[in-house]
Amino acid sequence: MTETCLDLETLSALVDGALTTTAEREARAHVACCPACGLRLNEMRQLSEDFHVLPTPPLGFDLGARIETRLPSRPAPRRHLWGGWSSLVALAGAAAALVLGLRLGMSLVSDDVGREATTPVVLAMSVFDAVPPGNLCPRPDACFLARVSR
């Protein structure tokens, strides 16, 4: 048995069966020989039992039926991550505007634009898939902008 008495946390964890196997064995060995710890442990155990026999007061009416008609309607769940065909077009437009803006901006602060233009990067959409708009993406990359280097 351990020399010192069990602390509160150990006793409490012992009631919950939350100690490691070794810690539990040691704690039980101590409690078996120490009336003081035995009493404290029994009090905690009895407290648990008293909670378990505490009656649960029922609500007393069918709340589901009462609130069912008052539930606000839920917006239809979105089936497509990007909101479908029209969003793709809008997104492509936004991307094109961003690229153009960046290029114009760069041209103000750098004269290397001409050299960069020899390795153009073109953004294009995979809009010619065999899948009609609104369907789930057939491949993870099919719904996103395809990055094509030339």
Partner 1 sequence: MRDEDALREAAEIARARAGDTGAFAALVCRYQDRVFGFVLRMIGVREEAMELTQDVFLKAWTALPDWRPEARLSTWLLQIARNAALDVLRRRERVGFTALEALAEVADTAPGPDENYAGRQRQGRLIDALAQIAPEHREILLLREIEDLSYAELGATLGLSEGTVKSRLARARAALLARYRPFAGDADD
Give the interface with partner 1 as residue ranges (CB under 8 A). 7-9, 11-13, 15-16, 18, 42-44, 46-48, 50-59, 62-74, 76-77
37 touches Zn ion by CB under 5 A = yes
Shortest Cβ 22–partner 1 spacing (Å): 17
Place of tokens 């539990």: 24
- CB of residue 97 vs partner 1: minimum separation in angstroms? 33
Length of the chain: 150
Measured CA to CA, the distance from residue 118 to residue 108 in angstroms comes to: 19
The option from Zn ion, partner 1, none interacting with 46 (CB < 5 to 8 A, set by class) reads partner 1
User: Hey, how many other C-beta atoms are within 10 angstroms of the C-beta on 40?
Assistant: 17
Q: What is the rounded distance in angstroms from the CA atom of residue 39 to the CA atom of residue 42? A: 5
34 binds, among partner 1, Zn ion, none (CB under 5 to 8 A by kind): Zn ion
Among 23, 34, 44, 137, binds Zn ion (CB under 5 A): 34
Nearest to 94 by CA among 51, 125, 63: 125
